[in-house]
Amino acid sequence: MGSYRALCILVLFVIFDLFGSLHALETITGTQFIADDENGSLVSSDGNFKLGFFSPGKSQARYVGIWFNKISEQTVVWVANRETPIRNSAGIFKIGGDGNLAVFCCNQSRPLWSTNVSVPAQTSTAKLLDSGNLVLVAKETMIWQSFDYPTDTVLPGMKFGWNRKTGLNHILTSWKSIDDPTAGEFSSGFDLHGIPQYFLYKNSVPHWRSGPWNGRNLNGLPEIGSSKDYFSDRIDLINITFVSNDNEIYIKSSPKKGSVFSRIVLESMGLLKRKIWHESQRWVRVQIVLHDLCDEYMRCGANAICNEDTLAHCACLPGFERLYPQDWYLKCQETSKEVCGKGDGEGFVRLEGVKFPDARTSTLYSNMSLEECERECLKSCNCTGYANVYVDEMGRGCIAWYGELRDMRRFKSGQDFYLRVNAVELAADAQKNAKVHVIATKSTLVFIIVPLVVETLLAALCFYYLWRRNAKRHKGQKQKQKQKQQLHQNKLILDSARSLPPNSSGESGSTELTLFELSIVTAATDHFSSANKLGRGGFGPVYKGQLPNGQEIAVKRLSTNSGQGILEFKNEYALYGLFSMKSDVFGFGVILLEIISGKKNRGFFHDDPYSNLIQYMWELWRDVECGPARGHGGDQSGDGGGLEK
In a domain, 464, yes or no: no
Identify whether residues 550 and 589 lie together within a single domain.
no
pLDDT recorded at residue 601: 60
Identify whether residues 316 and 279 lie together within a single domain.
no
pLDDT recorded at residue 64: 98
- Please state the rounded mean pLDDT for residues 39-61: 95
Identify whether residues 136 and 14 lie together within a single domain.
yes
According to DSSP, the residues that pair with 218 across neighbouring strands are 213
pLDDT at 230 over 50: no
Which residues make Cβ contacts (< 8 Å) with residue 464, sequence separation at least 6?
Answer: none
CATH number of the CATH domain containing 340: 3.50.4
Identify whether residues 75 and 122 lie together within a single domain.
yes
In a domain, 641, yes or no: yes
In a domain, 319, yes or no: yes
pLDDT at 509 over 50: no
Domain holding 102, by residue range, is: 1-147
pTM score above 0.75: no
pLDDT at 97 over 80: yes
Q: Give the integer Cα–Cα distance in Å for 71 and 327.
A: 50
Q: What is the mean pLDDT of the chain?
A: 79
In a domain, 111, yes or no: yes
pLDDT recorded at residue 9: 40
Which of 134-148, 541-555, 560-574 reaches the highest mean pLDDT? Answer: 134-148
pLDDT recorded at residue 30: 87
Confidence of residue 233 (pLDDT cuts 50, 70, 90): very low
Note the pLDDT tens digit of each residue in 262-321.
999 999 999 999 999 988 889 988 888 888 899 999 999 999 999 998 888 899 999 998
pLDDT recorded at residue 417: 96
Which of 307-316, 348-357, 530-539 reaches the highest mean pLDDT? Answer: 348-357
Domain boundary among 533, 555, 573: 573
Instruction: Enter the DSSP assignment of 132.
Output: S
Identify whether residues 47 and 139 lie together within a single domain.
yes
In a domain, 55, yes or no: yes
Number of domains in the chain: 5
Range scoring the smallest mean pLDDT among 177-186, 309-318, 537-546: 537-546
Confidence of residue 554 (pLDDT cuts 50, 70, 90): confident
pLDDT recorded at residue 224: 67
Note the pLDDT tens digit of each residue in 464-501.
888 888 887 777 777 777 766 666 665 555 555 555 55
In a domain, 436, yes or no: no
> What radius of gyration, in Å, describes the C-alpha atoms of the chain?
54
Q: Give the integer Cα–Cα distance in Å for 103 and 95.
A: 9
In a domain, 486, yes or no: no
pLDDT recorded at residue 437: 36
φ/ψ bin of 526: left (φ > 0), alpha (ψ from -120 to 50), beta (otherwise):
left
Identify whether residues 4 and 138 lie together within a single domain.
yes
pLDDT at 574 over 50: no
Domain boundary among 113, 147, 181: 147
Identify whether residues 283 and 324 lie together within a single domain.
no
Backbone dihedral angles phi then psi of residue 502, each to the nearest 5 degrees = -60, 145
